[in-house]
Amino acid sequence: MEKDILSAIEAASDGFSKSQRKIAEYILSNYDKAAFMTAIRLARFADVSESTVVRFAVELGYSGYPEMRRALADMIRGKLTSVQRIKVAKDIMGSRDILTHVLSSDIEQIRQTMEEADSGKFSQAVDAIVQANNIYIIGMRSSSFLANFMGFYFNLLFSNSRVISECPDSEVFEHMLRLSKGDVVIAISFPRYSKRTIKGMQYARDVGANIIAITDVRVSPLTELADIALCARSDMISFLDTLVAPLSLVNALVVAVSEKAPVDLYERFETLEKIWDEYGVYEQV
């Protein structure tokens, strides 16, 4: 369902029952909180039954409440400020054990990512990377660690990859000065989406490079600029987003690329092991 969920609620409001109207009014007034509520919690705040909340979601065209909740969360996650995130997180977690809540959330994000994964697009991304003349990996702010993690392993596989992470706006283009058609740009960003990453993607599109986006949902601003978009769920936890599922996706991409890369992995890592051993890179245990 691509239509903005708030607009859909307003458009359908005339046909709502009295109880459904209560739900609609609560969501429209408190969408930043409702997006992260369970059906039971939303029912309590709207003063209706849980079954009414589920029927409300179906009435709007969703398969059930979880899909409606995800649509609402996807719409607003990139718009919330850090202060709003902290307030929402406190309301969500309440007195719950933080460790259990965070680990459970991470497990759920990986599960959803597996269910929604597009193996066809994943294979296309792998082929594009392996066949690229040069590989540019862009990741700013919290996504910089994902970019650097991917770049670390790609540097072991290729001699033509580089990472563009924390740098001023102008330097993004300086790092991409030699970008051309036949190159691949892997752009990584999650809410709140980095403008520098998006500008880098726009430049890549202008020069005709192939663009792979790694982001959270298909309505992300990165997907509009990408030739191939790979999505991994990222849920909000206080002022930060969990990036466990995105890291799993990066792991899968690195492993798949290594299988197709035109290098002898055994020979490459035998050489590396000798170097690491000779220069004492790792502690002997």
- What does the domain layout of the chain look like in residue ranges? 5-79, 115-264
CA torsion, ordered 69, 75, 78, 82, to nearest 10 deg: -50
Burial class (CB in 10 A: 0-12, 13-18, 19+), 280: exposed
Residues forming beta bridges with residue 164, ordered by sequence position: 138
Termini Cα distance of the chain: 55
Confidence (pLDDT) at 2: 42
Q: What is the architecture, at CATH level 2, of domain 115-264?
A: 3-Layer(aba) Sandwich (3.40)
pLDDT at residue number 266? 83
What's the token pair of residue 73?
């969360």
- What count of other Cβ atoms lies within 10 Å of the Cβ of residue 192? 16
Which CATH code of 2.60.120.20, 3.40.1160.10, 2.60.40.10, 1.10.10.10 fits the domain covering 5-79? 1.10.10.10
Backbone φ and ψ for 160, nearest 5 degrees, come out as -125, 25
Name the nearest CA neighbour of 226 among 202, 251, 194: 202
Reading the chain (285 residues) residue by residue, the pLDDT tens digits are 445 788 888 888 888 899 999 999 999 888 878 887 889 989 999 999 999 999 999 988 899 998 898 888 777 766 666 666 666 666 666 666 778 878 888 898 899 899 999 999 999 999 999 999 999 999 998 899 999 999 999 999 998 999 999 777 778 888 898 999 999 999 999 988 899 999 999 999 999 999 999 998 888 899 999 999 999 998 765 556 789 999 999 999 999 999 998 888 888 889 989 999 988 988 887
d(CA 237, CA 146): 18
List the beta bridge partners of residue 137.
163, 186
Burial 63-77 (b: 16+ CB within 10 A, else e): eebeebbbbbbbbbb
